[in-house]
Amino acid sequence: MSYGSDPYNASEPPPGIQTYARQRVQAPAIALIVVGILNLLLMVFQVGRTVLIAIASPQELIQERDETLKVLEEAGLLPKEFLATYKQQQQGQSPEDFKRQVLLISGASCALGLLIAFLPLLGGICMLSLRAYALCLAGAISAAIPCLSCGGCCCFGEIVGIWALIVLLSTEVRAAFQ
């Protein structure tokens, strides 16, 4: 197809381009929706963890932190210098301040995680209806970034995100969104 080769052509896309674009975006859009749903399911655990932090006593959180540090230290995963510096910094902090700090960090990561989890889902839904091109791009990009997508460990999110980007950036599909 040669539609879209002239960047100054502001006319309506040909009638067949909508059908062609819908066929091209259907599979990556559904895959993007699946990535979004998986991201949201993963966020359920993070939200649950934040709720547990909120109802836990400060002493329980400190005990859990100390046990985790001990396991990491015994496994040799943390340098001794880091542990010494961390323990020195935490010495003057009250248990209530520690709980507030942990709750703030966990709550902020939940809010950001939920936003990032919704982007592929909304992007996929918009792709199916050929609406909100920028949101579709944002959803595909958020799925393609390894540490943001649920499939980061097995490359599922990255593959789907890149696939959706390739389809979205094609001339015919881009023209169908206008």
**Model confidence over 11-21: pLDDT tens digits?**
555 666 777 88
Residue 172 lies in a domain: yes
Query: Does residue 5 sit within a domain?
Result: no
Question: Using CA of residue 35, residue 137, residue 131, residue 171, what is the dihedral sign?
Answer: negative
Greatest Cα pair distance, the chain, in angstroms, is 70
The total number of structural domains in the chain stands at 1
**Residue 23 within a domain:** yes
The domain in which residue 135 lies consists of 17-176
Q: Is 2 inside a domain boundary?
A: no
CB 133 within 8 A of CB 174: yes
> What confidence tens digit (pLDDT) does each residue in 108-167 have?
988 888 888 899 999 999 999 888 999 999 999 988 887 766 655 567 788 888 899 999
Instruction: List pLDDT tens digits, range 32-70.
Output: 999 889 888 888 888 999 999 899 888 888 888 888 888
Instruction: Identify which has the larger pLDDT, 97 or 3.
Output: 97
Tell me whether residue 10 is in a domain: no
52 part of a folded domain = yes
Interacting residues of 137 by C-beta distance below 8 A, sequence separation 6+:
123, 165, 168
67 found inside a domain: yes
**Which run of H or of E encompasses 71?**
helix 58-74
For residue 30, being part of any structural domain is answered with yes
153-173: string of b/e by CB count within 10 Å (b at 16+)?
A: eeebbbbbbbbbbebbebebb
